[in-house]
Chain A
């Protein structure tokens, strides 16, 4: 067992961890180390071989591996160490991280600051309580994506996709291009949470029907999947008897939501938000433990990796700042979800505010011709119109520090208002 010290330790070398590492290093406050459980850095981007990444950040549309490589190249240029094939087992309150690898055995690393960037996992079938048999052939969409794009194996031939989020839509196209037959995409909500471009380019282009307000109500097959039943659902998302459709398929891909992977976070005793399933953080992305920060999908599930990078740069700078200036117990104002808004991050803001604060949230529903309103004690701080707000697109708004001076109350509310 070896013990060592680093200044800033980052858990995860996906897009969040890599960006945080680059930003932290460039502050030159001390040593930076990134720990990654896979054999190579890049995180989930390694298996996202489709394009659509980097339009905001690089002004070009890259594939996932190409986007990741830009940060990986920069990491190498800067000489930041990344230890791969190393799994973190625990993070303690006093910022000691226990990890294991075949090469280096058990390590106990004492850090001055820790940045959590573990990403997220997929919701499995059990969480849906779908009845039927427990046959082979049921995969979460990401696991299927890994098999195809990183391992070179096809999970099945005749496919139904449950969930029309972007991962499900992308896999509909991927399975079709690579030689499988995709029979349908089934979505329990009356709208898809995926981008319109993906509905067109992944479903319509290949004549794959999209069944909104439907769900899978039975799974059949003793050993390998043989078929499923799909039913329409009512306004309470309960199946409507008599609307059953049977599909003859050997593969069911589940794209039913992403859950931030916060086991290490909980183990450290950090406060978790029940809404985002990520850590409760302030505007410096610091969690309830001073010196421990969180960014990327582990904090809240993003839809554009460009915003993950932005957020993670801020976390890296914040961790460096923490080391430079130490922890000064601040006063906070709370940030609350108002009507139409879910999961605003950060949940609190330090005052006095010196820097712009980025607020991110998801609309609770589809809002056309609406405005986002930020108010405090009845006083409107900011109002911003948009043609559309949709649950599939995280909203990011920046509050200039001047707006946060002389506030009438100690909480601000973010809400959506129809014009």
Chain B
């Protein structure tokens, strides 16, 4: 079966057509104007993944803590990642780069602070 997706690597935004097998596996792509587009199409149809950034409350600080995943996580795990973040309890001080949750939900990605809080 065929699926249409837009590449997000650069502003051209090539409209690509992806051919998937009966089981939904990636078979081929057309419409891309560079190899990065093909790679994106493959990833997006096999296992779409995203970086997640969020703010979470921190005990002892009026300002919330901004965090990010250290690498992209599967897109369909985003709600579960936010669920884990809603349950985390941390307090000041926090330093930029500090690991808040290691290997969140066994994704291989850590949750990392993107700022310091005193």
Write the residues of chain A forming the contact surface with B, with a CB cutoff of 8 angstroms.
Answer: 46, 49-51, 61, 63, 65-66, 69, 148-152, 177-178, 195-197, 199-201, 205, 387-388, 390, 392-393
Give the docked Cα–Cα distance between A32 and B6 (Å).
47
Contact A49–B8 (Cβ < 8 Å): no
A51 close to B53 (CB less than 8 A): yes
Inter-chain contacts of A393 with B (CB < 8 A): 11
**Given A196-B6, A387-B12, A392-B11, are A69 and B55 also a contact pair (CB < 8 Å)?**
no
The reply to whether B8 and A177 form a contact with Cβ atoms under 8 Å apart is: no
Q: By the criterion CB–CB under 8 Å, are B55 and A149 in contact?
A: yes
Beyond the given pairs A63-B53, A149-B55, 7 more chain A to chain B contacts, judged by CB atoms under 8 angstroms and listed by A's residue number, are A65-B114, A151-B63, A152-B55, A178-B55, A196-B7, A205-B50, A388-B12
Contact A63 B114 (CB under 8 A): yes
Report yes or no: A178 in contact with B6, Cβ–Cβ below 8 A: no
Q: Which residue of chain B is the closest to A65 with respect to CB atoms?
A: B115
State in angstroms the CA–CA spacing of A26 and B96 once bound together. 26
Q: What residues of A have a CB within 8 angstroms of the CB of B115 in the complex?
A: 46, 65-66, 69
B66, A149: Cβ atoms under 8 Å?
yes
Let me know if B78 is at the binding interface, CB within 8 A: yes
**In the A-B complex, the 8 residue pairs with the closest CB atoms:** A49-B66, A197-B8, A196-B13, A152-B64, A65-B115, A63-B114, A387-B12, A388-B12
Whether the pair A69, B96 counts as a contact (CB closer than 8 A) is: yes
A6 → chain B closest CB, angstroms: 29
Could you tell me the distance in whole angstroms from the C-beta of A191 to the nearest C-beta in chain B? 11
Q: Smallest CB–CB gap between A16 and chain B, Å? A: 20
Using A49-B114, A149-B66 as known contacts, say yes or no to A196 and B96 having CB atoms under 8 A apart.
Answer: no
| Chain B residues with CB below 8 A from A66, complex form | 96, 114-115
B89 within 8 A of A: no
Report the separation of the CA atoms of residues A83 and B62 in the bound assembly, to the nearest whole angstrom. Answer: 22
Once the chains bind, are B64 and A149 in contact (CB under 8 Å)? yes
Q: Which residues of chain B are near A46, meaning CB under 8 Å?
A: 115
**B68 / chain A contacts, CB cutoff of 8 Å:** 49, 51, 63
Q: CB distance B53 to A49 under 8 Å?
A: yes
Query: Can you pick out 10 interface pairs between chain A and chain B where the beta carbons lie within 8 Å of each other?
Result: A49-B66, A49-B68, A63-B114, A69-B115, A151-B64, A200-B8, A201-B8, A205-B75, A387-B33, A392-B11
B82 & A177 in contact (Cβ 8 Å cutoff): yes
- Contact partners of B66 in chain A: CB under 8 A: 49, 63, 65, 149
Q: How far is the CB of A385 from chain B (nearest CB, A)?
A: 13
B99 to chain A, nearest CB (A): 15
Closest to B55 in A: A149
A151-B63 Cα distance, complex, nearest whole Å: 5
- CB-CB under 8 A from A63, the residues of chain B are 53, 66, 68, 114
In the complex the two chains form, is B64's CB within 8 Å of A201's CB? no
Which chain A residue shows the least CB distance to B63? Answer: A150
The distance in angstroms between the C-alpha atoms of A392 and B12, with both chains bound, is 12
Chain A CB within 8 A of B92 CB: no
| Smallest CB gap from A195: residue in B | B11
Measured between alpha carbons, how far is A191 from B13 in the docked complex, in Å? 13
CB contacts (< 8 Å) of B102 on chain A: these are none
> For A151, what are the chain B residues with a Cβ–Cβ distance below 8 Å?
62-64
Q: Type the 1/0 row for B35-64, where 1 means its CB is closer than 8 Å to any CB of A.
A: 000000000000000111111010000111
Q: What residues on B are CB-neighbors of A197 within 8 Å?
A: 8-9
Across the two chains, which residue of chain A brings its CB closest to B51? A51
Most chain A CB within 10 A, of B6, B12, B57, B115, is at B115
Find chain A residues with CB under 8 A from B12 CB.
387-388
Per the bound structure, the CA–CA distance linking A196 and B37 in Å amounts to 13
Q: What 1/0 flags go to B1-31 for Cβ under 8 Å of A?
A: 0000011110111000000000000000000
Q: How far is the CA of A390 from the CA of B11 in the complex (A)?
A: 8
